[in-house]
Amino acid sequence: MRKVRILAYPYSVWMAIFIVVPLILVLLYSFTEGDIRNLAALRFSTRSYERVLEPIYLKVIINSFVLATISTLCCLVLGYPVAMIVSRANPKVRGMLIMFLVVPMWMNFLLRTYAWMSILSPNGFLNRLLEVVGLPKLEIMPGKTAVLLGMIYNFLPFMILPIYTVLSKIDKQYIEAASDLGASKARTFFRIILPLSIPGVVSGITMVFLPAVSTFVISGLLGGGKTPLIGDLIEQQFMWEGNWHFGSSLSIILMVMILISMAIMSRIDRNGKQDENGYSKA
């Protein structure tokens, strides 16, 4: 036991240096003002949080959560059927389908987003194809639609894989028993498959929503500055404006909102497990 604790020390030091200390500094900067290079000269202030309440910044925060929610729901609607198809496929075909889902994730995130720029731009592949067939061009990029498409494409595998993992572990005897008792396919899905897959759904929602709400690469490239999200605002304050106090307050607010979202998802997951247990006993 003592040897195990000793092996954990390097990890504890790593967490303290690269996680705990930066979080403390961000929290400190968010409640202070003054020169960040001189900690002794910092003065307590809540001005950064008061600035967040200005309509222009509230609009960005609300817009971030709206787009993240829409992209998460779209990923769920598209990803659940795909996960079911993959989980029910022949084992040989299943491996190939999973490979098709995983291989794009090996490509650099930035490159995948640039690929969408070449597709959705005013002179991109999509509009050129429409022009060839005689249809009018679509003004998708820059704008919210392009940002949503970029989010859905980049984060869809994170929805499919957790749901697939849970669906593939469901005991087929439950489905066979429901069929023997005369349950229709729809009833079997809503009463057995869906409740048993709730843990995968919750994991997928969490894995999609968290990066979607904090992203700044997708909105910066596909939004063209017309659809700024809270991630873009934080990057702007730290990298270009040099206002670490306001950037830190935005980071803390984003962190709190993410923790609240995770708590809600965890509560739903626990309730789903309780319902699942209650149903299986019945």
| pLDDT given for residue 275 in this prediction | 55
Alpha helices in the chain (DSSP H): 2-15, 21-30, 47-52, 55-88, 91-106, 109-120, 125-132, 144-168, 172-180, 185-188, 194-196, 198-214, 217-222, 230-235, 244-281
Contact 242, 186 (CB under 8 A): no
Q: What average pLDDT does the segment 117-128 reach?
A: 86
The H or E element spanning position 237 is none
Pair 43, 205: CB distance under 8 Å: no
**What percent of the chain clears pLDDT 90, i.e. is strictly above it?**
21
* Record: fold of 53-281: MetI-like fold (1.10.3720)
C-alpha 170/C-alpha 271 separation (Å) is 19
Mean pLDDT value across residues 133-157: 87
**Residue 253: alpha-carbon gap to chain centroid:** 17
pLDDT above 90 for 224: no
Instruction: Write out pLDDT tens, residues 16-63.
Output: 888 888 889 899 999 988 888 777 788 888 888 988 888 889 999 999
**pLDDT value at 2 more than 70:** no
Rounded CA gap, 227 and 17, in Å? Answer: 35
pLDDT digits 0-9 by tens, 158-214: 999 999 999 988 888 888 888 878 878 888 888 888 888 888 999 999 999 988 988
Confidence of residue 74 (pLDDT cuts 50, 70, 90): very high
262 vs 74, 164, 205, 210, 254, CA distance in Å? 19, 21, 10, 9, 12
Q: Where are the domains of the chain?
A: 53-281
Rounded Cα distance, 221 and 204, in Å: 25
Question: Model's pTM, two decimal places?
Answer: 0.84
pLDDT at 226: 77
**Cα–Cα distance for residue pair 222/149, rounded to 1 Å:** 9
% the chain with pLDDT above 70: 94
pLDDT score recorded for residue 131: 86
pLDDT value for 280: 41
User: How far is it, in rounded angstroms, from Cα 117 to Cα 95?
Assistant: 30
Contact between 44 and 266 (Cβ < 8 Å):
no
Taken as a whole, the chain contains a residue count of 282
Backbone angles phi, psi at 171, to 5 degrees: -65, 125
Q: Is the pLDDT of residue 155 over 60?
A: yes
Which amino acid, one-letter code, is at 7?
L
Q: Is 44 helix (H, G, I), strand (E, B) or coil?
A: strand
244-264 pLDDT tens trace? 999 999 999 988 888 888 888
Mean pLDDT, the chain, whole residue set: 85
Average pLDDT over residues 234-246: 88
Tokens of 172: 């087929």
